[in-house]
Amino acid sequence: MRPEVNIESCIACATCQAVCPAEPNVFEVTDVSRAVNPEACTGCGSCRDNCPTGSIKLID
Ligand code: SF4
Ligand code: SF4
C-alpha cells in the first residue's frame, strides 16, 4: 500500500507526517504533503484516518 494525497484539498497541516510510524517517514510536507518515501508505507491507515480534510487514500 501507499498513500495518495489530494493536493487540491491538502492544507499542509502535517498531521499525516506526525502520525506516520514508518521509517523513513513516508511524507514530506511543504506547500502540500507529498509521499516521498512510498516504499516505506506499512498500510497502517493512520494518515488517512487522521487527515482533517480527508485528503489521503491508500492505494495498492
Ligand atoms: S494530514 Fe491531510 S491536510 Fe494535513 S498535510 Fe497531511 S494530507 Fe494534507
Ligand atoms: S498508511 Fe501508515 S505507514 Fe503508510 S503512509 Fe500512512 S501513516 Fe505512514
What are the DSSP calls for 1-60, one per residue?
-EEEE-TTT-----HHHHH---SS-SEEESSSEEES-GGG-----HHHHH-TT--EEEE-
Checking phi first, is residue 43 left (phi over 0); if not, alpha (psi -120 to 50) or beta?
Answer: left
53 Cα: distance to centroid of ligand 1 (angstroms): 7
Q: Kindly report, residue by residue over 2-31, the tens digit of the pLDDT.
A: 999 999 999 999 999 999 999 999 999 999
Domain residue spans of the chain: 2-59
Q: Which CATH class is domain 2-59?
A: alpha beta
Pocket around ligand 2 at a 6 A CB cut-off: 3, 19-22, 26, 41-47, 58
pTM over 0.95: yes
Banded model confidence at residue 48, pLDDT cuts 50, 70, 90: very high
Is the CB of residue 44 less than 8 Å from the CB of residue 27? no
